[in-house]
Structure 1
């Protein structure tokens, strides 16, 4: 039945509407039991937060052992995980990576295990790990061939070790053996040119079918290295998904360059929420090539990102220093925070002096990383206002030293060593937000008129009820951006409301936030959203004068060299640029609008590239609406004067035409 009432009202107006409805004797139930009046439902506030599934903690075999694994290796590492105190600190997964299976199947297509390597078979492995209080992880490939066929390491090439053609069969086998987690690689899928999204969604469907047979569920780890732009579609398809290439290849020495690269490529805040996680790859802590300070930096980066922490060092031989770094409780608490969000960059006043902030559970709680990517020690400042806190005094704690460093006024300044970071927690006063109540009978409503004073990443708390005994699912979509699947844990009853949080990208002005049911899942009862700015993420859209479309990087691509295009304005992170004091236009926090190859000729492509302080990455915004590249003096131009979605952005001689005129909104 169509609803005659508006789908939302601002919190200020909510009490008035409730009073009018009560006086009129209307049953404003919002789809809930008629005994529960609308005014009994809470507004979305942080004190009602419910904890979500944290990212996995554990150990994985690849970085140290490559393909040379057997039952004895796994027992040794599991025993060390327990005896070292890592298990007590929360590291509870032991994950077998590539090399455990040699690719044979029996006449019925079931996996045949080499029992000289795995006495008693794989069930015996899972039973042993469970007996030690741990969870068991296993590995496969989405294609016909696994990675060990294309990239053999310590064992010969292994044919036919992928799961293609046996998706449900293999997943049932893993579940019956007692495994809890499966990493699904994509070497075979890549060679066969399988579509990443379609393939992993087929695997997820097979997993649901297998679970219906066995009654067990696996944590699904999607490992296609971000090649299919996982951050757009993987939440809910998998529980975690890789966002970049391997952090270390077989035979390499660990270094901080790859660590920082994977960190940068893994920041996709709208995708990480409610127990779904961007995966920056396994840890290199304790491996050859990194000193103690670099190991602490590694942990700090992964913790502020809220990434899975899967150690890859040899646990049986690690030093006490390595163990202490891996088990530092306050660092782990940041990574495992029950709100389940990712840290985002909120400031870079000076090139390569970057400030990241992660919203933590509770009120006014933040983790802050001051990252100095220069070769000299530097004074760095975090401003409370950038974090979404008021300018009232806040208390600050140095996480690694586990020392309170006092209360500060509007921010905190400290010295950060060269090529290092300082990790802090901040307890301050939460800034004001706007709450929008659902007044319809829809379980998954649409909130229109959600306003933002500036484009940027916002903290959105979603108040809901789930009276069932299992997680319920719904999607959320802002404007025309990708729809993300959310997980809503049980709240205890259909009239008990709790809050989960997401980070959403909003456009300046009016936005639409739409919830929708997920086919096959009972929807939660969404009641309200509270929207709060994180001002350090704010930026502008570059809006063309010809079609009211925005400069955009298609499908949220982050690949260097991707050409900018015009697209319908949606407020997405791929359309939000920060103007820096260095005359850059920065998108995604670390990427610059760039004249390709430093070109200065008409037709030069305008592309995405890592910010490097080059002149071809500097732009002047002129009073006549044109934007000129400082290296060439040419104008940012919609090619050929076209206005359609997908029109490419180039440099061209300035001519004053509308396809070279832009509004920064």
Structure 2
């Protein structure tokens, strides 16, 4: 039997978590902390490859001491060159990449996008390329990039035809540029050419009405099979634009997944509004963790049409989101100011933080004046973005308590100004320009947290709960075997919303083990547990959970197909700024939700069993909005005023059709029509959409705000 973590070791780890705040293995800390783990996450099977080999200590290489592979950093060809790429163009960009000092700042990848291939294959089905555009073939391209100490990326489609066939740009339409039917063959060829990163688009998949999850799992399995043959790992970037809601299934399959459409199309000028919209669509914090990240698209910073301040705001948004930093500007024309923006070390440290989490919206006291907070590694450390979406300069205030800190004084540093701003109590206010932002790091005092620990020997069907700080007891249960799980019941929180969860575990294997995490009846996610060095050395990983109000939440970790880690304690720390409310129908006892965690315009709200998910947690603002996902609002479809008007999700604009008024009689009335939010009731099928109806006092038109 594999040696397992003893209860005294867990006791020491949990005490360190409770006193000092959880830290990623190897992260800096002040006060008691878990033993550092000097091994990185190297996911097994069809998992993403690490960003780099760690030779220089940057990124997530072996010996870098990271809890999660970081979001990839690099450059991609599409935004500036579309399909007009060849070896000379790539070489010029690589040379400029190196000359600008991007590798020293942590940028590693040089990625070829659509247009490198016109779809030709030989008699054996192998891809062949134009020898004029690519003298020496694609291996020569990868060799040139590798010769500069960088990593090489390439592009394909999940369908039979790539995007250049349906949307030809600067070159004629090219059929056959996808990998459908050639998944393993093409993955082997990409790896033998030397490519380290594969972006897989969705134009062909979309035209053929393929299932995104099935298609991309097939691609991931092909990459894993190819790696088993070549020994050359290749990171998978899913680019299906969020149509298949990859935040529900891509963790554990790909390193990154697109959450929306392109920020710009060829020939357009970039706009700050498009970047903001892409950022909004990427906010799926429960899906981003342990080396798996939401991708709001390639950067437009440094392209013609944006000011330096707008460039800094986009980098701030991507950093607070923990997004991949893939520059898209023409590096041969980059200004010194753009270079300084892309390479700002404090911004990059926020983006690449070892804890691997996404930021969340913590406050919006006045419409358009927003505060985002991101939990960083170490004790009491947060990154904060003060964002002004309005047309006038205005003060924006962050409160420490919204970030999960106490109201005690905290030190503040302004990132782009590289200036310390003192140690104010309770919070800090900055004057933020119209359309601008201020990026901060804050170090304060962690608020109290609760620890939940498995009782001795508990596994699936025998769950237990212990509130403890520190915990005590005998030997803990061992690693999760295939088909087994660990369940913690009675997990409590004072309000619905997002909480930080630090999971104490042990993994003595030399590679990461994975487990499926589920909260209540929400969509599960696959969590990666890096090696801890031995079966007696503990570590922690961090995730963000969406919890229901009260003490009836359940957290389950399961290893359905392969041996998992040995998890034990979970330390929970609410993030009060995310607190919200469940809308519970009096007639059905079901909660209003956006099904499948959908975020698209005009997604209809439905009643469903209450799970406490982010898609069921609404924040009521002083402006009468019911906000979900941070920046989406319940609305009457098309500003309808008639009985039967569907209730959908839309951007929050403050328009009357997107506002609501709770009444003492339990009704929730639309601000435009005065009609009541209607739940079809327990007798209707779960998922029957909500609508607006006349307020007649029936149970289906009354709600409990929980």
Q: Does 1:344 align with 2:385?
A: no
After TM superposition, the structure 1 stretch with the greater mean CA deviation from structure 2, 74-83 or 435-444, is 435-444
Cα distance per residue 1:199-219 (max 9 Å; x no partner) = 111111122211111122110
Change (3 A) 1:76 1:518: farther
1:68-147 alignment runs, 5 A limit: 68-147=84-163
Give the match for residue 197 of structure 1.
Answer: 213
Of 530, 539, 546, which residue of structure 1 is paired with 2:587?
546
Deviation of 1:616 (Å) = 1.6
Deviation of 1:40 (Å) = 2.3
Of 7, 26, 41, which residue of structure 2 is paired with 1:38?
7
Q: Contact (CA 8 Å) 1:563, 1:606: kept in 2 or not?
A: yes
Distance 1:304 1:550 in 2: 30
Cα distance per residue 1:272-330 (max 9 Å; x no partner) = 00000100100111101101111111111111111101001111121111111110110
Identify unmatched segments of 5+ residues in structure 2.
26-65, 458-476, 481-485
Q: Does 1:49 align with 2:19?
A: no
Q: Contact (CA 8 Å) 2:516, 2:557: kept in 1 or not?
A: yes
Give the match for residue 530 of structure 2.
Answer: 489
Deviation of 1:116 (Å) = 1.6
Distance 1:377 1:401 in 2: 18
Give the match for residue 252 of structure 1.
Answer: 268
Give the match for residue 443 of structure 1.
Answer: 479
Q: Does 1:652 align with 2:652?
A: no
Of 577, 580, 583, which residue of structure 1 is paired with 2:621?
580
Of 496, 507, 527, which residue of structure 2 is paired with 1:466?
507
Distance 2:266 2:439 in 1: 31
Distance 2:624 2:172 in 1: 53
Give the match for residue 19 of structure 1.
Answer: none
Deviation of 1:152 (Å) = 1.1
Q: Contact (CA 8 Å) 2:117, 2:177: kept in 1 or not?
A: yes
Change (3 A) 1:281 1:435: same
How many matched pairs? Answer: 633
Q: Contact (CA 8 Å) 1:551, 1:566: kept in 2 or not?
A: yes
Give the secondary structure class of the aligned counterpart of 2:152: strand
Of 541, 551, 555, which residue of structure 2 is paired with 1:513?
555
Deviation of 1:155 (Å) = 1.2
Give the match for residue 424 of structure 2.
Answer: 408
Deviation of 1:644 (Å) = 3.2
Deviation of 1:345 (Å) = 0.4
Distance 1:362 1:561 in 2: 41
Give the match for residue 353 of structure 1.
Answer: 369
Of 442, 447, 454, which residue of structure 1 is paired with 2:495?
454
Distance 2:670 2:380 in 1: 41
1:101-500 alignment runs, 5 A limit: 101-438=117-454, 439-440=456-457, 441=477, 443-444=479-480, 445-500=486-541
Distance 1:661 1:191 in 2: 43
Give the secondary structure class of the aligned counterpart of 1:203: helix
Give the secondary structure class of the aligned counterpart of 1:98: coil
Give the secondary structure class of the aligned counterpart of 1:104: coil
Distance 1:385 1:32 in 2: 43
Q: Contact (CA 8 Å) 1:566, 1:643: kept in 2 or not?
A: no
Give the secondary structure class of the aligned counterpart of 1:569: coil
Distance 2:568 2:70 in 1: 24
What is the TM-score when the length of structure 1 is the normalising length? 0.93
After TM superposition, the structure 1 stretch with the greater mean CA deviation from structure 2, 158-167 or 106-115, is 106-115
Cα distance per residue 1:17-73 (max 9 Å; x no partner) = xxxxxxxxxxxxxx8637x53222222724552221110000000111111111111
Q: Contact (CA 8 Å) 1:584, 1:618: kept in 2 or not?
A: yes
Give the secondary structure class of the aligned counterpart of 1:228: coil
Give the secondary structure class of the aligned counterpart of 1:106: coil
Q: Contact (CA 8 Å) 1:542, 1:551: kept in 2 or not?
A: yes
Give the match for residue 632 of structure 1.
Answer: 673
Give the match for residue 75 of structure 2.
Answer: 59
Q: Does 1:565 align with 2:534?
A: no
Q: Contact (CA 8 Å) 1:32, 1:495: kept in 2 or not?
A: no
What is the TM-score when the length of structure 2 is the normalising length? 0.88
Give the secondary structure class of the aligned counterpart of 1:529: strand
Identify unmatched segments of 5+ residues in structure 1.
1-30
Deviation of 1:635 (Å) = 1.2
After TM superposition, the structure 1 stretch with the greater mean CA deviation from structure 2, 122-131 or 297-306, is 122-131
Distance 2:511 2:391 in 1: 50
Distance 2:533 2:8 in 1: 20
Of 621, 637, 662, which residue of structure 2 is paired with 1:596?
637
Give the secondary structure class of the aligned counterpart of 1:72: helix
Change (3 A) 1:48 1:371: closer
After TM superposition, the structure 1 stretch with the greater mean CA deviation from structure 2, 442-451 or 135-144, is 442-451
Distance 1:37 1:207 in 2: 38
Distance 1:386 1:641 in 2: 36
Deviation of 1:475 (Å) = 1.0
